[in-house]
Structures are given as C-alpha cells and as structure tokens.
Amino acid sequence: MIRQMILVTMTGPDRPGIIAAITAEIAAAGARIRDIEQTVTHTLLSLSVLIDFPTGESDQRPLIKDLLFLAKELGLDLDFQVLTEAEYRRKSSRNAYVLTIMGGEVSARALASVSRILADSVVNIERITKLTQGQLRCVEMLVTAPEGYDVKAMNRKLLHAGSSLQVDIAVQKESLHRRAKRLVVMDMDSTLIQIEVVDELARIAGVGEQVAQITERAMNGELDFQQALRERVRLLEGLSADALDQVYRNIPFTPGAKTLVRILKRLGYKTAVISGGFKFFTDRLKEELGLDYAFANELEIRDGIVTGEVFGTIVDGARKAELLEEIAHREEIALDQVIAIGDGANDLPMLGRAGLGIAFNAKARVREEADTHINQQSLDSILYLLGLTEWEMAELGV
C-alpha cells in the first residue's frame, strides 16, 4: 500500500494557542507530524504541517474535517494537498543555497529582477526572510536548484544584475558549515581601517604621490607585491619613527569595524588581522580591538629612524593564505568554517582558501575573481551573510 501524506496549510490572524490546538487535534487522531513550519508577518500567520498515519490508515478524511472545523473556530483559512512518500522524498532531497541581498534599499525592482533570474534558471525560492528593521535593506532567500546545476553561472548573472540594481548579492551553499563559522580573518588597510598606512607614512615623508601610485598598481595586481612593498619602503628611508605613532593615533576605522569584532567575540569567534602592511600597526590593533592573532611585515627602525628596509618573511598573498591555514589548524577549525575579508589582489589567495571569501569594497580585479563581493559602507554588514538579523546585532553589540 502506498502511504499518503497530507500537507495542511493554514493562514490568518496570529494569536496564542493556535499551535497547541492544531497539534492536539492531530495527536488525538493518531497522526504523525513529518514536517512543520510557521511564519508570522505583521500579525498574519502562515502555518504548514505535513502529517501521515504511522499505521498506514487510508481514510484521512475525518482528520481533515476536524481540522477544517478547528480552523474556522480559530479564524484561519485552511487548504490541503495529498503527497505520496515518493513525492515527499523527492522534495526533501534539496540542493539548497542561501542568497543574501543587501543595499541602501532592496526595492521591488531588485526583488523582481533577482526572482526572474532564479526562475529562468529553474531555481525555486522556498523562503524569504527580512534581516533589517524598518526599511527593507537586507533580505535572505533560501532557494533550491536541480542536482548538478551550474551555480557559478547563476552567481555571475546575479552579480551583474546587482551592480545595475545597486544591491549586493551573495550566494552561499546552505550547509552546517555556513551556520557554524568559527574564524574571521581580515585584511587591515582599506578593510579594517579606511586608509593605506604606507601611503600615509609616505605623505608625511614627502613622497606620497610616488608611493600611492605604486600602491594602486600593487592592489590591482599589476605589480609583484614583494617588489612593490620593498620599493615603497625604500622611499620611507629617513622617516622618524614618531610618524608611525602619529598615523596610528589618527587611524580612521572602517564604519562598523569595531561593532563587527565586538559581536564576533561575543559569538565566540576567533579573529585575526593578516596584513601586507606593518606589524607596528597590526600589533596595536590586536590590543585595541581584542583580536586573537595579528600578522604583518616588520619595518626596520634603527635609532628611531626608518631604514627603508623590511626584514623577515614578507606577508604577500601566498603568505596570507598560509597564515590563514596555520591559524585554522592551530584552533582546530575546518577551512569551510573560516571567513576571510579583503580588498586587494594580494588578498585573493586567502579569500579563495576560506570557506567564505568576501571582497569588501574591493578593487576591480578582486571583485571579478572573488566568489562574494559586497560594496557597503559598514563592515558589520558582513554579519548578514551569517544570517544575523539587525535586532540580533543590536542585542549583541551593546
């Protein structure tokens, strides 16, 4: 005998006691709940319950009748459909992804465009959740795609659409590791802070324009990073070490940076800054923000004067990726549970190594090559990619 299941859907005004009444009715009939989901949007309830009879009872009409009467008493509309076990298993076998859409406003036009791309790609939207309070600035979609689906092709279409719609769209595989990230690794310059430290030092040394040109080319991947770093540092020869203190005292943190770190710490994350800049600054940031790890290049200073040299292993792109792996190994954290955030070409290796690599307000080449890129004013907007809502952030950020 083919066992049948009933998917019951009820909608109407929410009030206390609805779940208690419905589940009691199902229990009294000897039925079993196979699946249940409820949402409430501005006091309007939508409840779906999938039920069957463990004994294989074929006549389910009495229960449907009782639920119809109960729904009327509760002021709810009820609909139902019959599913076979095979249909249930087919629908339960999901190739699921989470889309996060964020911007100054997620407009109806943006939602329509994204939804059309998904529909044309034979991708089904199963759930939409608002993550912000007040104005619609971030929504999360749970979608399912056919097995073997080319998600990268869909992602490229979404990223292209996002640029014209003035929203950021991130696609992540829905899995345990998406919801169980444990380590966040950040670049320093133009990511955790809003400046390129070496450019600020160069400005004080009177060689700002020369160094800024080299920095720009290096961050776009036009120059070998190690070569570019040594060229810039040589131009700093003779600079007083007091200039480093001066720059640090006036460092402008990226909006949301301190909030991001504070919330991550409260959630139990390990945090690290890995920079192609200088240890003088990362060590102080580690202490000020309470980071767990900090790595950068060692700027040589003798008798209070910058010599124009760096010593030790250069922290370039490859070294950043190695350090990310070393931290994860030391903390016994899987790479799938690591988030890396950066903006320059030298960040691409670590972005690629992490379970979630985010290009934040990044250079053009980095945006093109990174799987996820967002262009938001506040660094703590990254928390939306973890599924946190704005009110959860407010609670954790105090």
Non-local (6+) Cβ contacts of 375 within 8 A are 168, 361
- Listed range (90-104, 313-327, 331-345) with the worst mean pLDDT: 90-104
**In the prediction, which pLDDT does 363 show?**
82
pLDDT confidence tier of residue 61, bands split at 50, 70 and 90: confident
Average pLDDT estimate for 77-83: 89
Tell me which of 14, 52, 168, 189 is the catalytic residue: 189
Give the separation between CA 115 and CA 123, rounded to whole angstroms.
9
* 195 in Cβ contact with 245 (< 8 Å): no
- Listed range (48-62, 64-78, 130-144) with the worst mean pLDDT: 48-62
For residue 2, give both structure tokens.
């083919």
Give the separation between CA 364 and CA 367, rounded to whole angstroms.
5
Q: How many CB atoms lie within 10 A of CB 224?
A: 14
**In the prediction, which pLDDT does 267 show?**
93
**In the prediction, which pLDDT does 95 show?**
85
pLDDT tens for residues 253-278?
999 999 999 999 999 999 999 999 99
Q: What is the mean pLDDT of the chain?
A: 91
- 92 beta partners: none
* 299 in Cβ contact with 280 (< 8 Å): yes
The highest-confidence range among 53-62, 327-336, 370-379, by mean pLDDT, is: 327-336
pLDDT tens for residues 271-309?
999 999 999 999 999 999 999 999 999 999 999 999 999
| Type of residue at 366 | V
SS (H, E, C) 287-301: HHHCCCEEEEEEEEE
Residue 381 DSSP label: G
Average pLDDT estimate for 140-148: 88
| pTM, 2 dp | 0.83
User: Distances from the Cα of 114 to the Cαs of 35, 170, 205, 333, 369, in angstroms?
Assistant: 28, 12, 49, 34, 21
**In the prediction, which pLDDT does 163 show?**
86
pLDDT confidence tier of residue 238, bands split at 50, 70 and 90: very high
Q: Is the pLDDT of residue 72 over 60?
A: yes
Average pLDDT estimate for 24-49: 90
For residue 214, give both structure tokens.
């080299």
Tell me which of 14, 168, 187, 343 is the catalytic residue: 187
Q: Is the pLDDT of residue 93 over 60?
A: no
pLDDT tens for residues 7-28?
999 999 999 999 999 999 999 9
Domains of the chain: 4-91 (3.30.70.260), 94-173 (3.30.70.260), 183-397 (3.40.50.1000)
φ, ψ for residue 321 (rounded to 5)? Answer: -65, -40
**In the prediction, which pLDDT does 1 show?**
46
Active site residue 187: yes
Query: Rounded to 5 degrees, what angle do the CA atoms 224, 379, 268 make?
Result: 105
- The closest of 175, 168, 167, 118 to 143, measured between CA atoms, is 118
Active site residue 14: no
Give 359 or 146, the one with higher predicted confidence: 359
Indicate the burial class of 267 (C-beta count within 10 angstroms; 0-12, 13-18, 19 or more): middle
Q: Is the pLDDT of residue 87 over 70?
A: no
DSSP string, 345-386: GGGHHHHHHSSEEEEES--HHHHHHSSEEE--S-GGGGGGGG
Residue with tokens 């791309």: 117
| Helices first, then strands: H and E counts in the chain | 15, 15
Give the separation between CA 305 and CA 238, rounded to whole angstroms.
6
Cα separation of the two ends of the chain? 58
Q: How many CB atoms lie within 10 A of CB 3?
A: 16
Q: Is the pLDDT of residue 392 over 80?
A: yes
For residue 376, give both structure tokens.
């938001």
- Listed range (3-12, 70-79, 197-206) with the worst mean pLDDT: 3-12
